[in-house]
Amino acid sequence: PAQELRFDGQTVVVTGAGGGLGKAYATFFGSRGANVVVNDLGGSFKGEGQSTKAADVVVNEIKAAGGKAVANYDSVENGERIVETAIKAFGRVDILINNAGILRDVSFKNMKDQDWDLIFAVHVKGSFKTARAAWPHFRKQKYGRVINTSSAAGLFGNFGQCNYSAAKMAMVGFTETLAKEGLKYNILCNTVAPIAASRLTETIMPPEVLQALTPDRIVPLVACLVHPSNTDETGAIFEVGGGHMAKLRWERAKGALLRADESMTAGAIVKKWADVADFSAPDYPTGAANFLELLEDAQKLPPNPPSEPLSFKDKVVLI
């Protein structure tokens, strides 16, 4: 059997830990020696109402099993209070799992400001506020582990979820920047795009699929990423669910390079479109293309051949 990952003496903050994935994370860390802050606002999946019950149930479960846990009932929009709970109860914070989330699904045509704002308040602002509050502690102790939660809907888009998709893709950029800023302080930050049975998914997947996608199948990967034995995996995105886990990354096509002068027209680009979208020998960038170097190379090229104005015909060829 694999060695058991332990978290003795460490403090883990799990947001939205009153149910679903958050509960699975919290009970796991509670069973592995960690001090756990079980945060949950206790509202509906659409972000309405609040209650202390969701967090209390999980805290009691962890304690009954011999673990250490305290509840926090604040919205992640007040993330500083959640971190305060950790410091008051346990004197430190080592791991932050930004997991709290809601859905406000509606077609783009019918999406209201409130649906957009509420999703951004919880997912984006909530993750920001909680991480920002934990950050000085991480820096001071030169140790921190952060998990932010994205979604396939964010990475690939999904009907009825333009608000949620935008917020979930925001988690990727947010995490990549935190990974860069945190590296020299030994703060490692990764993104997970989970898929699991919960109240968010119970109505959109058949029961036999849900059965295979239990929340506890998300936990081990997250545990690896936030364990002290992870010393270099940071700024990455992982798709995880039902026992499958895979890293995702960016892919850059060969690209077209044109001489940047008056001959660089839309028509010239269309002629080179095959190169723009040529993924036969891609690279896997972790930063922007080296534009200064490319610019120099481009100036060595001959002027672009004159081309006819763009026509509808060109566009059809493109597609």
CB of 184 to ligand NAI, least distance (A): 28
Instruction: Point out which residues bind ligand NAI (CB under 6 A).
Output: 15-16, 18-22, 39-43, 45, 47, 54, 75-77, 99-102, 122, 126, 149, 151, 194-196, 198-201
Other C-beta atoms lying within 10 Å of the C-beta of residue 211: 11
Residue type, 226: V
The encoded tokens of residue 80 equal 């500083």
Residue whose pair of structure tokens reads 């493109």 in the numeric block: 318
Q: Closer CB to ligand NAI, residue 127 or residue 234?
A: 127
Q: Closer CB to ligand NAI, residue 32 or residue 123?
A: 123
H or E segment at 294? Answer: helix 291-299
Nearest to 176 by CA among 236, 217, 96: 236
25 a catalytic residue: no
The encoded tokens of residue 186 equal 């030994």
CB of 104 to ligand NAI, least distance (A): 11
Q: Half-sphere exposure of 61 toward its Cβ, with a 13 Å CA cutoff?
A: 20
Q: Closer CB to ligand NAI, residue 108 or residue 156?
A: 156
SS3 state of residue 124: helix
Under 8 Å CB-to-CB from 18, ≥6 apart: which residues?
38, 40, 42, 53, 54, 55, 57, 58
CB of 121 to ligand NAI, least distance (A): 7
CB of 222 to ligand NAI, least distance (A): 11
Q: Closer CB to ligand NAI, residue 81 or residue 271?
A: 81
CB of 228 to ligand NAI, least distance (A): 24
Which residue of the chain is nearest ligand NAI when measured via CB?
A: 20
Q: Closer CB to ligand NAI, residue 40 or residue 105?
A: 40
**Phi, psi at 187, each rounded to 5°:** -105, 110
- CA dist 122 and 113 (Å) reads 14
Selected catalytic residue, list 25, 164, 185, 284: 164
Active site residues: 164
